[in-house]
Chain A
Amino acid sequence: MAIKKKKELDTEEKSPENRILSFPDEVLERVLIFVKCHKDRSAVSLVCRDWYNAERWSRTHVFIGNCYSVSPEMVARRFPNIRSVTLKGKPRFYDFNLVPPNWGADLHPWLVVFASAYPFLEEFRLKRMTVTDESLDFLARSFPEFKALSLVSCDGFSTDGLASIATYCRNLTELDIQESGIDDLGGSWLSCFPDSFTSLEALNFANLHSEVNFDALERLVARCKSLKVLKVNKHVTLEQIRRLLVRSPQLTELGTGSFSQDQKLRSDADLESAFSNCKNFNTLSGLWEVSSVYLPALYPVCANLTFLNLSYTALQSTELAKLLQNCPLLRRLWVLDTVEDKGLEAVASSCHLLEELRVFPADPFDQEVIMEGGGSGVTESGFVAVSEGCPNLHYVLYFCRQMTNAAVATVVRNCPNFTHFRLCIMNMCQPDYLTNEPMDEAFGSVVKTCSKLQRLAVSGLLTDRAFEYIGTYAKNLETLSVAFAGSSDRGMQCVLEGCPKLRKLEIRDCPFGNAALLSGLERYESMRSLWMSACNLTMNGCQLLARKMPRLNVEVIKEDESDDMHAEKVYVYRSVAGPRRDAPPFVLTL
């Protein structure tokens, strides 16, 4: 979209014969409705005052990547017509228990402000926020037009909160609580949807542990003719899935329940025919506790599958191979490393259109007794195999226990279009297991070859060299995750100096100190956030940063009183809302 420069507009306004070229605000607003991406909208708002106003009146969706970067009042003041809000809260390392509970990111203050500012609000999409039952109840009662609630990795609520949503949100289209830590008090919430309620289009309660009333679920599915997404939890049996499918052949995304022995299932043929009635499946997940004998029932829907999530299913390589032979159009595949390298070879031979692969570890903490030859997960050869068969691969998340520099170099040679490269060698600081050298060259080859790289997560034994490479070559890098790596401050400095598009930097257990922290003084205001834990930062260094950059919030999390000088966990982020007013006692804002 052509955005005129401010200067041009002003001169045009001045000369009368060109006045016809400046449109009335209403027209501009009409045009701007079609600008959806929030980055584009930010650009639009910077053109001139008229455009800023047109943009703020026409914006209906606001994306807030860090809930503490702005206050709800400021949002309400600037944007009068918001219908949909995306909010992200806690730092990502909260998922790995590096952030204490009760850290914050409470939704409630936002609800209170928005209840009066946006009475017609329709959507909340939340990630890593704390949401209580009271908040959910308040939400359900305050927004009569409310349609979509998506809670990813949130916590603080129970099934009672879901009951409020089900009871009061008459126009609900989406309820998705995936991967949220919910207090599961029982499945009766599902029965709270009134019989007159038919608008549901997406329902995801895969992470709940308790059983829902199946009759209520079946009736709900039967009367919601627009239901497209249904992801149930593992208590739902095969026979029950069959019945649900019979009622909703229009589904496009299905998360099954348990996929194992069910004596109520009359025959495998029944199950298969229920699946074959569904012509529109593009996504399949769930498959808790699979009995491979039932997998062939899925074959009818595999032909059109683009996303297959087997990351909670312990499949063996042969089972996966047979399944994948039926999935030629697959673009995204998530698996457990029980499929091993052989399974990945099957991926390479069956799924040539693959764009995204995530391999999760079945046994990340070496809990299982290793049986004969098995349980070793995936290695570098599986990774190479996939890269050879899937040239379109651009997103990878790979957990393994051994890797070589040469293998990674081969992978990126085969697939130079990586945008997201997240490699986790689970043994900390492990070198290339063949050459015993650091893994610097591996990530060097990634950044040199993949010019479109946006997200990188590194692991293994790494020196400053790896970070020199990153700083030199990763010019499009936006997110970097580092753990147990680097040799000195220089590593972090290279990244901060060399990566102009860096927005999120999260570091743990690296030998980076105050010098490194302060070298990024100029950078942090153009970044969303910086996280550093178990590094060599001191309170003095953090205080210096806070003093020099008043528009940054420099927060130190202090959990024990032992070492007063050491700054164990530091979270730095830009904010126009000033320091947090709801910080718990262990969060010190400097």
Chain B
Amino acid sequence: MSPPLEHDYIGLSEISTMESSDKFSSSASSSATVAEDADDRRRQALNLKETELRLGLPGSESPDRKEKVGLTLGLLPKSFVSGAKRGFSDAIDGRAGEWGFAGGAGSEGELGKGGVSFSPRGEGGAGGQHSGQGSAGKDAVAKAAGQEKKAPAPAQASGGSDRGIAPAAKAQVVGWPPIRSYRKNTMATNPLKNKEDAEGKHGFGCLYVKVSMDGAPYLRKVDLKTYNNYKELSSALEKMFSCFTIGQCGSHGIPGRDGLSESRLMDLLNGSEFVLTYEDKDGDWMLVGDVPWEMFTDSCRRLRIMKGSDAIGLAPTAMEKCKNRS
């Protein structure tokens, strides 16, 4: 497991530096490393080669293909991108379930929630799991402590802005920050970003959700009720975020804004490294397009257009989630 892990870590940190350069990472806990943390955490938690490697390739089962995707993760986002693009257009065409996520049972509970390694899910507490995590925690703590002790030295020089190493280690430390289990579990199940609700727009026939795009300096809001299917939503989003997409694709040698038709925009979005995801009621991040439209509008709290490379390890489809639950 370690060689691909190290490889990915290195690969991802390159991406995260890229992201931090065009993002607003003023706070010490910069978002640039969130994706990296999340991915590291997910990989640690899942510890399944199949899950990691099968992403993004609908219907494809061949092992060497899997291998390739895993290794090229950080360095060649494009090969992954082709998978991502296909997935997205599949979604638009209404074809669900083509992703082929391995998504082991229990991964959904661990992903995207606070305290992956250390919050007990449910009251059973899973003693065995706990002690396993305890020792993992010890190792991680030792590593973290070691890393953290080293980190301040370079951090001092750079004023603490380069926190590439520290947050990833932090994510694995058992019991830190010292938040009571009760509070952790409560926050995990209570969606906190309820500004949409707060503006009281839910019950009156509109359903505003925020849409963020990685790399964009501001967010948009869309009313999900004004669309009837995924296709309408995606074209609306593409129109909204086209200016940013073009900015991103500058390096691809595409000419300026004028003269771009709508179809070109769609190609652009699909051709870029972006995937459309949403956060559902449980706080999990899901890929858009898996569930029927009505179910989606019911459970979607907000949308995020994220870089394809960050979409690895997203929770299994909502259908599987329902199955797991019942």
Which residues of A does B touch, CB under 8 Å? 93, 95-98, 100-102, 153, 155-156, 158, 179-183, 207, 209, 234, 260-261, 263, 288-293, 311-312, 314, 316, 319, 336, 338, 360-373, 375-377, 399, 401-402, 424, 426-431, 433, 436, 461, 481, 483-484, 508-509, 534, 559-560, 562, 568, 586
**A559 and B135 within 8 A (CB):** yes
Mask: chain B, 175-213; 1 = CB below 8 Å from A; 0 = not: 111111111101101111111011110110000001010
Residue of B nearest to A155 (CB): B123
**B120 and A369 within 8 A (CB):** no
Stretch in B24-32, B50-58, B85-93, B232-240 with 4+ CB within 8 Å of A: B24-32
Which residues of B does A touch, CB under 8 Å? 24-31, 33-34, 37-38, 112-116, 118-120, 122-123, 125, 127, 130-131, 133-135, 138, 141-142, 144-145, 148-149, 151-152, 155-156, 159-160, 163, 166-167, 170-171, 173-184, 186-187, 189-195, 197-200, 202-203, 210, 212, 217-219, 304
Best-surrounded residue of B138, B190, B218 (most CB of chain A within 10 A):
B138
**B123 and A560 within 8 A (CB):** no
Q: What CA separation (Å) do A430 and B26 show in the bound complex?
A: 16
Which of B34, B138, B178, B192 contacts A483, CB < 8 Å? Answer: B178
Q: What CA separation (Å) do A366 and B40 show in the bound complex?
A: 13
Contacts known (A102-B127, A260-B194, A293-B200); A369 close to B34, Cβ less than 8 A: yes
Residue of B nearest to A338 (CB): B192
Tell me, rounded to whole Å, the shortest Cβ–Cβ distance linking B160 to chain A.
5
**B130 and A509 within 8 A (CB):** no
**A509 and B145 within 8 A (CB):** yes
Q: What CA separation (Å) do A370 and B304 show in the bound complex?
A: 11
Chain A residues lying within 8 Å of B191, measured Cβ to Cβ, are: 289
Chain A residues lying within 8 Å of B122, measured Cβ to Cβ, are: 183
**A433 and B181 within 8 A (CB):** no
Which of A153, A370, A376, A586 contacts B182, CB < 8 Å? Answer: A153
Q: Lowest 7 A-B CB distances belong to which pairs?
A: A96-B175, A370-B31, A436-B156, A376-B27, A101-B125, A314-B192, A560-B135
**A100 and B130 within 8 A (CB):** yes
Contacts known (A155-B123, A376-B27, A429-B151); A560 close to B177, Cβ less than 8 A: no
Which of B144, B155, B184, B212 contacts A436, CB < 8 Å? Answer: B155
Which of B28, B138, B156, B197 contacts A427, CB < 8 Å? Answer: B28
Chain B residues lying within 8 Å of A93, measured Cβ to Cβ, are: 175
Contacts known (A96-B178, A181-B123); A369 close to B192, Cβ less than 8 A: no
**B166 and A95 within 8 A (CB):** no
Q: What CA separation (Å) do A559 and B190 show in the bound complex?
A: 32
Q: What CA separation (Å) do A483 and B170 show in the bound complex?
A: 13
Contacts known (A428-B166, A509-B145); A182 close to B123, Cβ less than 8 A: yes
Q: What CA separation (Å) do A181 and B182 show in the bound complex?
A: 7
Which of A314, A369, A461, A534 contacts B304, CB < 8 Å? Answer: A369
Tell me, rounded to whole Å, the shortest Cβ–Cβ distance linking A164 to chain B.
18
Chain B residues lying within 8 Å of A426, measured Cβ to Cβ, are: 29, 177
Contacts known (A102-B127, A290-B194, A401-B28); A364 close to B177, Cβ less than 8 A: yes
Q: What CA separation (Å) do A559 and B203 show in the bound complex?
A: 51
A selection of 5 A-B contacts at a CB cut-off of 8 Å is: A96-B180, A155-B123, A368-B34, A427-B29, A427-B170
**B177 and A361 within 8 A (CB):** yes
**B182 and A179 within 8 A (CB):** yes
Tell me, rounded to whole Å, the shortest Cβ–Cβ distance linking B224 to chain A.
16
Which of A311, A336, A367, A433 contacts B160, CB < 8 Å? Answer: A433
Residue of A nearest to B151 (CB): A429
**A560 and B28 within 8 A (CB):** no
Tell me, rounded to whole Å, the shortest Cβ–Cβ distance linking A106 to chain B.
15
**A291 and B198 within 8 A (CB):** yes
Tell me, rounded to whole Å, the shortest Cβ–Cβ distance linking A580 to chain B.
19
Q: What CA separation (Å) do A320 and B320 show in the bound complex?
A: 40
Residue of A nearest to B170 (CB): A428
Which of A101, A156, A430 contacts B28, CB < 8 Å? Answer: A430
Q: What CA separation (Å) do A98 and B130 show in the bound complex?
A: 10
**B176 and A428 within 8 A (CB):** yes
Tell me, rounded to whole Å, the shortest Cβ–Cβ distance linking A400 to chain B.
10
Tell me, rounded to whole Å, the shortest Cβ–Cβ distance linking A497 to chain B.
25
Q: What CA separation (Å) do A312 and B182 show in the bound complex?
A: 11
Q: What CA separation (Å) do A431 and B142 show in the bound complex?
A: 19
Contacts known (A100-B134, A365-B171, A429-B148); A293 close to B198, Cβ less than 8 A: yes
Chain A residues lying within 8 Å of B116, measured Cβ to Cβ, are: 365
**B182 and A484 within 8 A (CB):** no
**A100 and B131 within 8 A (CB):** yes
Contacts known (A291-B198, A436-B160); A153 close to B31, Cβ less than 8 A: no
**A261 and B127 within 8 A (CB):** no
Contacts known (A181-B123, A534-B141, A562-B135); A424 close to B202, Cβ less than 8 A: no
**A366 and B171 within 8 A (CB):** yes
Given pairs A95-B180, A181-B181, A293-B199, 5 additional interface contacts (CB within 8 A): A102-B127, A179-B182, A293-B198, A370-B29, A428-B170
Q: What CA separation (Å) do A436 and B212 show in the bound complex?
A: 34
Q: What CA separation (Å) do A433 and B178 show in the bound complex?
A: 21
Chain B residues lying within 8 Å of A96, measured Cβ to Cβ, are: 118, 174-176, 178-181
Tell me, rounded to whole Å, the shortest Cβ–Cβ distance linking A403 to chain B.
11
Q: What CA separation (Å) do A361 and B145 show in the bound complex?
A: 22
**A289 and B190 within 8 A (CB):** yes
**A372 and B114 within 8 A (CB):** no
Q: What CA separation (Å) do A93 and B193 show in the bound complex?
A: 29
Tell me, rounded to whole Å, the shortest Cβ–Cβ distance linking B125 to chain A.
4
**A370 and B34 within 8 A (CB):** yes
**B180 and A179 within 8 A (CB):** yes
Q: What CA separation (Å) do A182 and B134 show in the bound complex?
A: 23
Which of B181, B182, B190 contacts A234, CB < 8 Å? Answer: B190
Best-surrounded residue of A207, A234, A436 (most CB of chain B within 10 A):
A436
Q: What CA separation (Å) do A39 and B78 show in the bound complex?
A: 70
**B186 and A366 within 8 A (CB):** no
**B119 and A97 within 8 A (CB):** yes
Tell me, rounded to whole Å, the shortest Cβ–Cβ distance linking A424 to chain B.
6
Chain B residues lying within 8 Å of A534, measured Cβ to Cβ, are: 138, 141-142, 145
**B166 and A559 within 8 A (CB):** no
**B173 and A428 within 8 A (CB):** yes
Q: What CA separation (Å) do A68 and B303 show in the bound complex?
A: 52
Residue of B nearest to A437 (CB): B156
**B219 and A372 within 8 A (CB):** yes
Q: What CA separation (Å) do A429 and B160 show in the bound complex?
A: 11
Q: What CA separation (Å) do A97 and B202 show in the bound complex?
A: 38
Best-surrounded residue of A101, A155, A290, A373 (most CB of chain B within 10 A):
A101
Residue of A nearest to B33 (CB): A366
**A288 and B190 within 8 A (CB):** yes
**A290 and B198 within 8 A (CB):** yes
Tell me, rounded to whole Å, the shortest Cβ–Cβ distance linking B262 to chain A.
27
Q: What CA separation (Å) do A290 and B190 show in the bound complex?
A: 11
Q: What CA separation (Å) do A180 and B38 show in the bound complex?
A: 29
Chain A residues lying within 8 Å of B195, measured Cβ to Cβ, are: 316
Residue of B nearest to A95 (CB): B180
Contacts known (A207-B186, A401-B29, A534-B142); A367 close to B112, Cβ less than 8 A: yes
Chain A residues lying within 8 Å of B203, measured Cβ to Cβ, are: 261, 263
Residue of B nearest to A336 (CB): B192
Contacts known (A426-B177, A427-B170, A428-B170); A370 close to B151, Cβ less than 8 A: no
Chain A residues lying within 8 Å of B190, measured Cβ to Cβ, are: 234, 288-289, 312
**B200 and A261 within 8 A (CB):** yes
Q: What CA separation (Å) do A290 and B199 show in the bound complex?
A: 10
Which of A100, A180, A260, A429 contacts B198, CB < 8 Å? Answer: A260
Q: What CA separation (Å) do A181 and B121 show in the bound complex?
A: 10
Residue of B nearest to A288 (CB): B190
Chain A residues lying within 8 Å of B112, measured Cβ to Cβ, are: 367
**B193 and A314 within 8 A (CB):** yes
Q: What CA separation (Å) do A95 and B33 show in the bound complex?
A: 27
Chain B residues lying within 8 Å of A433, measured Cβ to Cβ, are: 28, 159-160
Q: What CA separation (Å) do A311 and B122 show in the bound complex?
A: 22
Q: What CA separation (Å) do A101 and B173 show in the bound complex?
A: 18
Contacts known (A96-B179, A97-B175, A427-B163); A568 close to B138, Cβ less than 8 A: yes
